[in-house]
Structure 1
Amino acid sequence: MKKTALFLERVYAKYNRPELISPDPLEFLSRYTSPQDRETAALLAACFAYGNVKQILKNVNAILEKMHNSPYQFILHSTHAGLHRTFKNFRYRFTGEEEFCAFLCAVKRVLKKYGSLQNCFLAHFTPQDQTVLPALRGFARELRSGTDLHSLIPNPDKNSALKRLNLFLRWMVRKDAVDLGHWTNISPAKLIVPLDVHLHRIARKLKLTRRNAADMTAALEITCAFKKCCPHDPVKYDFCLTRFGIREDMDYENLDAFK
């Protein structure tokens, strides 16, 4: 594990840099300064982080442009009819107008009830929990309550890796040259790696997991392996490792140079 830790630290030192963020939906968060706008934009960007990265960026950019200077205020003061007028004929892969508008109404309901997404998450969070998983599931249930959001918020009671919600948490909780770290009441040590096909492939290459499925069990296993290398911030390696296979100038073979 010491050899793996040295390898991961070398990759982190070289690639955890803001100039390597693009192409990544994380880049949209720098448009805003208020915590409410950043967390709202982050949830939107993370929930649509599936599919081709160029299409993800195009879609999220189009959504945020229609929300003008404040996605938080736009959603908070929206109406069901107004959302359907603004996003008439919306379509992004598996997500259509009905589901997207229902999602925005769910976000509005949470903001009205708790005042912020952070407050909603903290209502389900217990500091004694080993990971954020119980709170993450409660947060997802809160958003899905009475609404079918199958393509945007997965069923938290299944063994899904909940990749996009864990990505949202990484952006909100961690703070370094890349992540923003607005949510200071949650320890980065409790985060779970946002497991997608890219990271799963890399983790198997590094023998951090043997699981064939990129599910929650695998995400927890990989997080545990990262925690042996960095107990206080295991998810720090997510960004730098996922540059491989996402950026056109970086491929999986480049990883071998760090071994």
Structure 2
Amino acid sequence: MRSRQKTFRVKPSALETLYCTFNNKSYVHPDPLEHLYKYKDIKDREIAGIVVASLAYGRVQSILKKTAIMLDIMGDSPYEFIRSTPAEYICSMCKGFKHRLVTGAEIAKLLLNIQKVLTLYGSLNACFVSYISKSDENVLNALCKFANIVGEQTPHLIPDPSRGSACKRLNLYLRWMVRQDNVDPGGWYGITPAMLIVPLDVHMARISYLLGFTKRKTPDMAMALEITQSLKAFDKSDPVKYDFALTRYGIQKGLSIKNLLRELKTEGSLQREAII
């Protein structure tokens, strides 16, 4: 139902405390990010990461199950698997895979796209960095070009940022690869955390609206950029660092969005309509 709900100005110190509290691997499960910790080499982690991120939609237990299946197919070293496995064998191993709208043929195409990128650039990191210009304030332009090559003929896995999609899964992937703390493993070079865009879905959109980080109602790229800009007021060098902590509320048991508002707010006079 729709009701009138107050929005609040966020206490900077409270948001920083929230980040410090949740900057801990013990809060990761059941996030599919947990799959990436076993890959110590960034060459393996970046490939595992894009496969996991691209499948990260739907019910969380299904996500964990289906991502585990794909990681098992690639074995201990996704990098060596992609580099050395013939295309026909990749297609054969993925046959019968299904996750929501994603078929075995589509996930195989993603792996073959990654194979092409490794041949051309040596790594996904090098590919992405090659698209960044000195004038870019954020990763959006590079993200569009990266999605075109990695996401060729994989519409249910890699969306097209140029069409206005928030591209939550791609931005989540970049958060994992670029940021490095107790939660995000990092490992990529050539991109600063300041350039990242917040991974936006309806959950993060609702939280951000209630906290006053956005005035928009549609969870698209425009909203993601507005939220990111708002978070730069708290840490301009690493605005996306708050994403993990904020999104624990409403997901993990005992952490409701009402709890989050109580912890972060300084009451303001502004009121907006919100779905509660």
Deviation, structure 1 residue 2: 7.4
Q: Does the aligned pair in 2 maintain the 1:172–1:183 contact within 8 Å?
A: yes
Other structure's SS at 1:112 match: helix
Which residue does the alignment assign to 1:39? 46
Other structure's SS at 2:160 match: coil
Which residue does the alignment assign to 2:158? 153
Q: Does the aligned pair in 2 maintain the 1:193–1:220 contact within 8 Å?
A: yes
Which residue does the alignment assign to 2:112? 105
Which residue does the alignment assign to 1:72? 79
Choose from 214, 226, 229 the match for 2:231: 226
Choose from 132, 135, 141 the match for 1:134: 141
Other structure's SS at 2:154 match: coil
Which residue does the alignment assign to 2:21? 14
Deviation, structure 1 residue 197: 1.4
Map 1:23-102 onto structure 2 (within 5 A): 23-102=30-109
Which residue does the alignment assign to 2:4? none
Cα distance in 1 between the residues matched to 2:253 and 2:110: 32
TM-score (structure 1 length as normaliser)? 0.95
Q: Structure 2: which 5+ residue stretches go unaligned?
A: 1-7, 266-276
Other structure's SS at 2:233 match: helix
Deviation, structure 1 residue 53: 1.2
Q: Quick one: which amino acid aligns to residue 154 of structure 1?
A: P
Q: CA RMSD in A?
A: 1.5
Greater fraction of residues in strand: 2
Deviation, structure 1 residue 24: 0.7
Change (3 A) 1:137 1:228: same
Deviation, structure 1 residue 120: 0.3
Cα distance in 2 between the residues matched to 1:46 and 1:195: 13
Number of aligned positions between the proteins: 257
Which residue does the alignment assign to 2:126? 119
Q: Does the aligned pair in 1 maintain the 2:97–2:104 contact within 8 Å?
A: yes
Cα distance in 2 between the residues matched to 1:157 and 1:3: 32
Choose from 178, 192, 195 the match for 1:190: 195
TM-score (structure 2 length as normaliser)? 0.89
Q: Does the aligned pair in 2 maintain the 1:141–1:156 contact within 8 Å?
A: no
Cα distance in 2 between the residues matched to 1:12 and 1:77: 41
Q: Quick one: which amino acid aligns to residue 24 of structure 1?
A: D
Deviation, structure 1 residue 241: 0.7
Deviation, structure 1 residue 224: 0.3
Map 1:138-217 onto structure 2 (within 5 A): 138-144=145-151, 147-217=152-222
Other structure's SS at 2:70 match: helix
Deviation, structure 1 residue 13: 2.0
Give deviations 1:32-55, integer Å, cap 9, x for gaps.
111100111111111111111111
Give deviations 1:167-191, integer Å, cap 9, x for gaps.
1110111111111121132111111
Change (3 A) 1:2 1:253: closer
Give deviations 1:140-167, integer Å, cap 9, x for gaps.
11213xx321100112220001111111
Which residue does the alignment assign to 2:268? none
Q: Does the aligned pair in 1 maintain the 2:9–2:211 contact within 8 Å?
A: no
Structure with the bigger RCO (C-alpha within 8 Å, sep 6+) is: 2
Change (3 A) 1:3 1:241: closer
Q: Structure 1: which 5+ residue stretches go unaligned?
A: none
Q: Quick one: which amino acid aligns to residue 45 of structure 1?
A: V
Q: Quick one: which amino acid aligns to residue 106 of structure 2?
A: E
